[in-house]
């Protein structure tokens, strides 16, 4: 009998898997046995190489999730290319920084379109397939700003608060249909999105001083939680937003 974290034979669709958190999650799912479809505007060539080296199948789907136009196509290409779909990871994300008093409508709309609108409609499209097959796992990528206000990132904070909300809503509607919808809330991770903060010596120090683990997170730190939420080990977990933050929220 396979262990409860085994993903052999499963297919996972990960948005924004070319680098950072999405890449770390995709590789972790592949290490657990899943084949991977990656959707995004940047080809996930490095991710593909690492996943194929594990003996897993991989397809890349070119899609810009600043609109929902490619959503149905992404699901179809996953089904056609890998023969199924069992796991959706809504990871694609965008952040724009400016003081709230100066924040532009474009920066608001772009971030909200990618971070929350596309995540909902990707869930809807995958959800139709999951409902029909009576099984599916959806993992949304939330944030510390699903719990806190942040500074100078109004649309990002709004979108990640929204991710927590739709995670709970979809769990309420779909849990009885055999679908698990949960979210991971990464703490301060060393990715392209945080490069500007890490380069600010004072801001970097203030963050590190608050993290009990005394370090920035690495994308690989999300792997275990992602595998748990993608596997049958989490079959009775629904609507949860799980912090992976080195203890940030505990401080």
CATH number at residue 134: 3.40.50.720
Examine residue 250 and state whether it is found in any structural domain, yes or no.
no
CA separation for the pair 13, 240 (Å, rounded) = 20
Residue 210 belongs to domain spanning = 11-244
Examine residue 48 and state whether it is found in any structural domain, yes or no.
yes
CA separation for the pair 195, 79 (Å, rounded) = 35
Answer yes or no: are the C-beta atoms of 225 and 189 closer than 8 Å: no
Q: Among all chains, which residue has been given the structure tokens 């249909």?
A: 177
Overall size of the chain counted in residues: 251
pTM listed for this prediction = 0.97
Examine residue 3 and state whether it is found in any structural domain, yes or no.
no
- Of 136, 110, 109, 142, which is closest to residue 123 (Cα–Cα)? 136
200: Cα within 13 Å, side-chain hemisphere: 8
Examine residue 249 and state whether it is found in any structural domain, yes or no.
no
The total number of structural domains in the chain stands at 1
What are the DSSP E strand ranges found in the chain? 11-15, 35-40, 58-62, 87-90, 136-141, 179-186, 241-244
pLDDT per residue rounded down to tens, the chain (251 residues): 589 999 999 999 999 999 999 999 999 999 999 999 999 999 999 999 999 999 999 999 999 999 999 999 999 999 999 999 999 999 999 999 999 999 999 999 999 999 999 999 999 999 999 999 999 999 999 999 999 999 999 999 999 999 999 999 999 999 999 999 999 999 999 988 788 889 999 999 999 999 999 999 999 999 999 999 999 999 999 999 999 999 999 99
CA separation for the pair 23, 67 (Å, rounded) = 22
188 is catalytic: no
Count CB-CB contacts under 10 A for residue 100: 11
Examine residue 69 and state whether it is found in any structural domain, yes or no.
yes
Catalytic residue, chosen from 135, 156, 188, 236, is: 156
Task: Determine how β-strand 58-62 pairs with β-strand 87-90.
Answer: unpaired
Examine residue 251 and state whether it is found in any structural domain, yes or no.
no
Examine residue 47 and state whether it is found in any structural domain, yes or no.
yes
């Amino acid at each position: 009998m396979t262990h409860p974290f085994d993903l052999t034979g499963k297919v996972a669709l990960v948005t924004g898997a070319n680098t950072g958190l999405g890449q770390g999650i995709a590789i972790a799912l592949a290490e657990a046995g899943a084949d991977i479809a990656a959707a995004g505007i940047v080809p996930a060539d490095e991710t593909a190489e690492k996943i194929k080296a594990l003996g897993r199948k991989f397809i890349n789907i070119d899609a810009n999730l600043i609109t929902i136009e490619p959503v149905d196509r992404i699901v179809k290409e996953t089904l056609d290319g890998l023969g199924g779909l069992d796991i959706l990871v809504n990871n694609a994300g965008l952040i724009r920084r400016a003081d709230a008093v100066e924040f532009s409508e474009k920066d608001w709309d772009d971030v909200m379109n990618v971070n929350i609108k596309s995540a909902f409609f990707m869930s809807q499209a995958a959800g139709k397939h999951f409902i029909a097959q009576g099984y599916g796992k959806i993992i949304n990528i939330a944030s510390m700003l699903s719990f806190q206000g942040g500074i100078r990132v109004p649309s990002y904070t709004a979108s990640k608060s929204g991710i927590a909300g739709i995670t709970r809503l979809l769990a309420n509607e779909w849990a009885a249909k055999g679908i698990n919808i949960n979210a991971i809330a990464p703490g301060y991770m060393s990715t392209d999105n945080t490069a500007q903060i890490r380069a600010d010596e004072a801001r970097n120090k203030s963050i590190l001083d608050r993290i009990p683990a005394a370090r920035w997170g690495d994308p690989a730190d999300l792997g275990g939680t992602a595998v748990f939420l993608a596997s049958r080990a989490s079959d009775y977990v629904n609507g949860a937003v799980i912090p992976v933050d080195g203890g940030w929220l505990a401080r």
